[in-house]
Amino acid sequence: MTGRGTRRQWLQHMGMWAAAGGVAGSALAAGAGRFPTRPLKLIVPFAPGGSADIVARLLADALQAPLGQAVVVENKAGAGGMLGAEAVARAAADGYTLGLGSISTLAVNPVVLPQLRVNPLQDLAMVAPLASIASVFSVRPTLGVANFEGLVRAARVQGDRWAVGSSGVGSAGHLILAALNRELGLRLRHIPYKGMGPVVQSVLAGDTQVLSDQYPSSASFIAQGLLQPLAVASAQRLPALPQVPTLAELGHAALNRLAITWLGLVAPAGTPQAVLQRLNTAINQALQHSALRTRLEQLGVQPLGGSALQLQRMVEDTTAQVRQLVLQDKVLEDTP
């Protein structure tokens, strides 16, 4: 075979491969156009009943209309959210398995947990920002403090005899406590628990003295008078707690930003871009529904929405803030 003949055959083969690629690309585009054709699964990396779970279930219900398919929530808690994040990263990249990402799983864990097996910006595809959740700092009414300033004064007198629980070493709650101690000159002790449910119960039982929790999971205890709210971390005061100031109002703007939890929708890396765009459009449509927005706002949750790029920037910016606190300011090393 001559060199010219070999070149001609090579070009013919390349043309065949290009045509095949075009057919495959058209098939993929058509498939994305029909997506989804069966129910989807939303993995929540936390236990049922917590704030993230409450928000996830409301959003899953709201997604059914724009997607035309049910979205089934599956809780996969453990290891500070790592198990759920790993399950999403290892799932088929077809858009039928989604994940609820949070400030913990997407920004805190990658900095504070050296054993982390998921790199959010490499192993997950960003879909859209979902919501931000206000946090509330509260105590038992029997503790005898009337406001946040009174709490700080009493905590300084009590020294390290007072404790605050979190969902685990290196969790977002642990980081908030460390920053609280650093900024206010306190020595509140850290007690790690397995999830926020036991943390709330520890305050109600008097085993710990101060609770830093997302508002939706504390709301019923506040309404019953079992917890006394002293400050919230949010952009503005909560409609349900108009008498409770934000940390920013009290002069702690950085702590206010850190304690606001945000959530985002993620998928396995490699999910086709057309499918990701379909999901992004659906979540933005769902978040515009007035009934959903009203219900979220009643819970102290601010609907967000937006692009995948906006979620990516949220992850990058928060990761940088956490890295500053943990690696440069070394706040976790100062936690009693």
CB 203 within 8 A of CB 140: yes
As a whole number of angstroms, the distance between CA 298 and CA 282 comes to 23
Per the structure block, which two tokens stand in for 177?
Answer: 């406590």
End-to-end CA distance of the chain: 79
Sheet of 97-102: strands edge to edge? 71-75, 40-44, 97-102, 261-268, 124-133, 301-303
As a whole number of angstroms, the distance between CA 277 and CA 163 comes to 45
Q: CA angle, corner 75, sides to 74 and 76, nearest 5?
A: 115
Determine the angle formed by the axes of helices 273-287 and 51-67, rounding to 10 degrees.
110
Residue identified by tokens 């290892």 is 90
Instruction: Return the half-sphere exposure (C-beta side, CA atoms, 13 A cut-off) of residue 2.
Output: 3
Closest CA to 200 of 183, 218, 182: 218
Q: pLDDT truncated to tens, each residue of the chain (336 aa)? A: 444 444 444 444 444 444 444 443 433 444 456 899 999 999 999 888 888 899 999 999 999 999 999 999 999 988 778 899 999 999 999 999 999 999 999 999 899 887 788 999 999 999 999 999 999 999 999 999 999 999 999 999 987 899 999 988 888 889 999 999 989 999 999 999 877 888 999 999 999 999 999 998 899 999 999 999 999 999 999 989 999 999 999 999 989 998 999 999 999 999 999 999 999 999 999 999 999 999 998 888 999 999 999 999 999 999 998 888 887 767 777 677
3-state secondary structure of 277: helix
Q: What is the pLDDT of residue 324?
A: 87
Closest CA to 266 of 194, 314, 233: 314
Closest CA to 228 of 141, 303, 162, 305: 141
Residues 6+ apart with CB under 8 A from 292: 58, 59, 62, 286, 303
As a whole number of angstroms, the distance between CA 65 and CA 80 comes to 32
3-state SS string for 57-121? HHHHHHHHHHHCCCEEEEECCCHHHHHHHHHHHHCCCCCCEEEEEEHHHHHHHHHHCCCCCCCHH
Q: Point out which residues pair with 57 in neighbouring strands.
A: none
3-state secondary structure of 32: helix
As a whole number of angstroms, the distance between CA 215 and CA 50 comes to 10
Q: What is the greatest pairwise CA distance in the chain?
A: 95
CB 98 within 8 A of CB 125: no
| Length in residues, the chain | 336
